[in-house]
């Protein structure tokens, strides 16, 4: 009896799940992003496409590999700095233009992006270009009650989270991983 009930209920349960084609989740605009981005940042790190290949620096990876990716992507050696007074403990940084990459114990732990023409998320989100109102139409956005003004967080198309900052409808910065913010 239990076996028959299970077999009758199984098709209904599977039908309720739907298929990937029926999903209403926003699809990444990956081809557009790869055509215009020098570097793509995400909830797990950074990446750069080379022809049919991909160079990736993931959180937890070595500083050496993340710095090399920055150097190749931007064709310049990143500027290095450090801070002993971060909320997460002492951190080191590498910066190129509007992108600052954070390290702890020589491990890549986060990034912070200001307005940029050529760095964006895989979903095409860019500070200074993407409007907060547009982001709210396409993604789940949560405003964060914080001492930092305009802080929000959104869920990406790959179901990770990226934090951001806005002034009115203008997205001024994005951030993922660890940071050197005091809240």
Q: Is residue 159 part of a domain?
A: yes
Is 169 a residue whose pLDDT tops 80? yes
Enter the tokens of residue 33.
């992003």
Mean pLDDT of 56-85: 95
Q: How far apart are CA 22 and CA 131, in angstroms?
A: 27
Q: Is residue 141 part of a domain?
A: yes
If one counts the domains in the chain, the total is 1
Of 168 and 145, which is predicted with more confidence?
168
Q: Is residue 94 part of a domain?
A: yes
Q: Is residue 9 part of a domain?
A: no
39-55 pLDDT per residue, tens: 999 999 999 987 788 89
99-142 pLDDT per residue, tens: 999 999 999 999 999 998 889 998 999 999 999 999 999 999 99
List the end-to-end C-alpha distance of the chain, in Å, as a whole number.
Answer: 58
Specify the pLDDT at position 30: 52
Q: How far apart are CA 18 and CA 103, in angstroms?
A: 42
| Residue among 60, 61, 41 nearest 121 (CA) | 41
Expressed as residue numbers, the domain containing 47 is 29-177
Q: Is residue 74 part of a domain?
A: yes
Q: How far apart are CA 97 and CA 136, in angstroms?
A: 27
Query: How crowded is residue 84: how many other Cβ atoms within 10 Å of its Cβ?
Result: 7
Q: Is residue 19 part of a domain?
A: no
State the residue for tokens 């001024």: 172
| pLDDT more than 70, % of the chain | 81
Enter the tokens of residue 134.
């547009």
Asked if 59 and 44 touch (Cβ cutoff 8 Å), the reply is yes
Enter the tokens of residue 9.
């209920």
Q: Quote the DSSP letter at residue 22.
A: G
Q: Is residue 144 part of a domain?
A: yes
State the residue for tokens 């409007």: 131
Q: Is residue 4 part of a domain?
A: no
């Amino acid at each position: 009896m239990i076996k028959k009930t299970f077999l009758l209920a199984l098709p209904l349960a599977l039908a309720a799940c739907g298929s990937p084609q029926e999903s209403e989740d926003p699809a990444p605009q990956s081809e557009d992003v790869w055509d215009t981005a020098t570097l793509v940042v995400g909830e797990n790190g950074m990446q750069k496409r080379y022809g049919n290949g991909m160079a990736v620096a993931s959180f937890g990876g070595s500083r050496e590999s993340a710095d090399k990716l920055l150097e190749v992507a931007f064709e310049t050696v990143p500027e290095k700095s450090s801070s002993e007074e971060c909320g997460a403990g002492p951190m080191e940084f590498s910066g190129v233009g509007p992108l600052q990459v954070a390290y702890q114990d020589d491990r890549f732990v986060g990034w912070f992006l200001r307005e940029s023409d050529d760095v964006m998320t895989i979903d095409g989100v860019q500070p200074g270009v993407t409007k907060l109102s547009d982001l709210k139409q396409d993604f789940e956005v949560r405003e964060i009650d914080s001492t930092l003004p305009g802080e929000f967080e959104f869920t990406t198309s790959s179901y990770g989270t990226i934090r951001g900052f806005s002034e009115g409808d203008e997205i001024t910065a994005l951030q993922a991983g660890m940071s050197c913010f005091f809240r």
